[in-house]
């Protein structure tokens, strides 16, 4: 979230696109300035994605030791009557991760 705020991108908001001139209006921007503006916007988005990727890699490397040890010592077979489904927050995180992967592919 901090990276998005840093780059002026907030979740749930569309990228700020200037209004297009109506038919018959004289366009003051040349195509080359429009291309340059889009290239600058693209560079900003790439920087934001790169920063987010670095943060995700850094966060994934900070798994608590106790949690990883607990998983390695866990009994692989669930006990009778025990729910073997992952908690809701794990499912939510996995779904969010898939959405972010799709968004990243769309940006590249």
Three-state SS string across the chain, please? CHHHHHCCCCCCCCCCCCCCCCCCCCCCCCHHHHHHHHHHHHHHHHHHHHHHHHHHHHHHCCCCHHHHHHHHHCCCCCCCCCCCCCCHHHHHHHHHHHHHHHHHHHHC
Could you list the residue range(s) of the whole structural domain that residue 63 is in? Answer: 36-72
The pLDDT tens digits for 51-103 are: 999 998 888 876 665 455 555 555 555 555 555 667 788 888 888 999 999 99
Half-sphere exposure of 24 (CA within 13 A, CB side): 0
Instruction: Please tell me the predicted confidence (pLDDT) of residue 69.
Output: 54
Q: Quick check: is 26 in a domain?
A: no
Q: Quick check: is 15 in a domain?
A: no
Instruction: Please tell me the predicted confidence (pLDDT) of residue 68.
Output: 52
Q: What's the total number of domains in the chain? A: 1
The pLDDT tens digits for 8-55 are: 665 554 455 555 555 555 556 688 999 999 999 999 999 999 999 999
Instruction: Please tell me the predicted confidence (pLDDT) of residue 14.
Output: 47
Q: Quick check: is 64 in a domain?
A: yes
Q: Quick check: is 98 in a domain?
A: no
Residues 6+ apart with CB under 8 A from 40: none
Q: Quick check: is 91 in a domain?
A: no
Q: Is the pTM of this model over 0.75?
A: no
The region, left, alpha or beta by phi > 0 then psi within -120 to 50, assigned to residue 8 is left
Q: Calculate ∠ Cα 81-78-68, nearest 5°.
A: 135
Q: Quick check: is 2 in a domain?
A: no
Q: Quick check: is 85 in a domain?
A: no
Q: Quick check: is 59 in a domain?
A: yes
């Amino acid at each position: 979230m901090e990276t998005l705020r840093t780059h002026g991108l907030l979740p749930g908001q569309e990228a700020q696109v200037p209004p297009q001139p109506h038919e018959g209006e004289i366009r003051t921007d040349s195509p080359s300035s429009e291309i340059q503006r889009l290239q600058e916007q693209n560079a900003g988005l790439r920087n934001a994605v790169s920063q987010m990727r670095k943060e995700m890699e850094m966060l994934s490397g900070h798994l608590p030791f106790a949690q990883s040890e607990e998983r390695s010592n866990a009994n692989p077979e669930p006990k009778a009557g025990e729910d073997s489904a992952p908690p809701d927050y794990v499912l939510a995180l996995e779904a969010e991760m898939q959405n972010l992967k799709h968004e990243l592919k769309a940006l590249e």
